[in-house]
A and B are shown apart, each in its own frame.
Chain A
């Protein structure tokens, strides 16, 4: 038996909004620790991972591990039927269930909606992400700043270079109409309301596709801050963490490399 109840639908709605433009379908792996998934986009440029830890749920029961193959567009359609303050309960049989049940209940518990989502058999490749990567540079910034930088730059072109030196990050773009760049310095005071922190072991300069950096802005409502981790010649890791360590959405983006 798998049973998981979120107090408010907002949490799962935001997480799905952050991944559904990149992934069409994925296996939601349920274990005693929580709900997680990982999937590549169709061109295999980006790997998206998501975890909702068991503590994110008001009720969480997973008697044995199960994998639910879900079409992201379908689950999003069903979750549109939940008001943001409605609770969401997901129920599935752990013995080869062919559907999962979604129950939405309003705050006064006098309106209860039931939906069934058909599950799919998805044959997906699980990739090994190196743990505790020793990144050359880590930058943390308010997620609203992330959105502004990459929505602005990706309008100019799709080749965005991130260069991080001591205390400064430079984001630049080259496009058909021209080019642009933006420098972001580490904020001086720890009391600053919207801090930018930059940790550099070694300066790094890498190029990434702007279209993806812009797509990741869909995760901005999840988290007040975002962390970007870079190592020369390796994928960029971007993390949006849910409050109270309830989980995260992480993107790993393959770089553009000068051949």
Chain B
């Protein structure tokens, strides 16, 4: 099924 991802999987901390 379709799953919601998280934004911090794409943008990493400084």
Contacts and interface: CB of A to CB of B under 8 A. Distances in A.
Indicate, yes or no, whether A interacts with B.
Answer: yes
A45 B7 CA distance: 5
Interface residues of B, number: 14
B13 to A, nearest CB: 5
Contacts, number: 60
Contacts of B14: 126-128
Interface string B1-14: 11111111111111
Interface in A194-230: 207, 209
A69 interface: no
Contacts of A130: 11
Most buried by A among B2, B7, B11, B14: B7
A256 B2 contact: yes
Interface stretch (A10-18, A95-103, A178-186, A247-255): A247-255
Contacts of A209: 4
Interface of A: 40, 43-47, 125-130, 159, 207, 209, 234-235, 252-259
